[in-house]
Amino acid sequence: MLQSALDFDASETKDCFDRDGYLRVDSLFGAAKMAEINAELDRYIAQHVPGMSRSEVYYEDINDDTSIKQLMNMHDHDSYFDDLLRNSVIRTMAETALGEEVKGVNVEYFNKPPGIGKATPAHQDGYFFHIKPSKAVTGWLALEDVDHENGCIHYVRGSHKADGFRTHARSNVLGFSQGMTDFGTDDDKENTVAFPCGAGTFLMHDSKTIHWAGKNRSKTRSRRAVGFIYFAKSVEIDKEARAAYQAKLDQDLMADNKI
């Protein structure tokens, strides 16, 4: 575990990432920068969310506009988050982990509102990405303290090394349309590592690393985080498959009155 971005040693970081399929940096950003990011997120929500399409903002309770659970493509709507994706130490971490140049493809807000925030089902991000080969990473920045009560991230150490993806099927959790159907083997359990962490902690995982998060059991605390997705420059994106998948998903969610 790195104590801060200042401890950053590229070859050590890559070795850890290749071994475990994830990395953790405590205090990637200091308190002042975290206050700035939190304030920018609040501004983003006030400025952009009211006019946003239903496929880019998900609510835990569709009748309660204070219950935002996920925002997608934040970099497309706002230069602050675009800059964070493209020009910050987060990009450097992604390039180090993947060992090549990357392109930033998404910034997402992940919240679990108090009392109602659902668990994140076990999944592998690459299953959703439609890229070949599956060379991609997701960074995850805690915007506030996160623990077992409000739903911390869990990774299955070494799970990125298996060939292909595990079996996924439609989940009922908005924002995570596919969950693993065979999660919970002895190997999964033995290698699961929980990541309770303080605000400013940064996690990054491989697109094949199995991960999940608990539900928010707190009646008063949210669980706010921002995700940053990068693809290796060398990958091929199946744009048609991605667009078809997203269109079908939007259609299904609207039919189910979830968005």
Q: Which residues bind ligand AKG (CB under 6 A)?
A: 110, 120, 125, 138, 140, 211, 213, 225, 227
CB of 151 to ligand AKG, least distance (A): 6
CB of 245 to ligand AKG, least distance (A): 16
| Residue with smaller CB distance to ligand AKG, 27 or 70 | 70
Answer positive or negative: Cα dihedral of 238, 239, 240, 246.
positive
Do residues 192 and 156 make contact, with C-beta atoms less than 8 angstroms apart? yes
Residue 100's CB: how many other CB atoms inside 10 A?
A: 13
Comparing C-alpha atoms, which of 231, 42, 65, 37 is closest to residue 134? 231
CB of 120 to ligand AKG, least distance (A): 4
Distance of CA 131 to the CA centre of its chain: 17
| Residue with smaller CB distance to ligand AKG, 173 or 253 | 173
| Residue with smaller CB distance to ligand AKG, 197 or 225 | 225
Which residue, chain included where needed, has tokens 């359990």? 189
CB of 138 to ligand AKG, least distance (A): 4
| Residue with smaller CB distance to ligand AKG, 44 or 140 | 140
Do residues 86 and 50 make contact, with C-beta atoms less than 8 angstroms apart? no
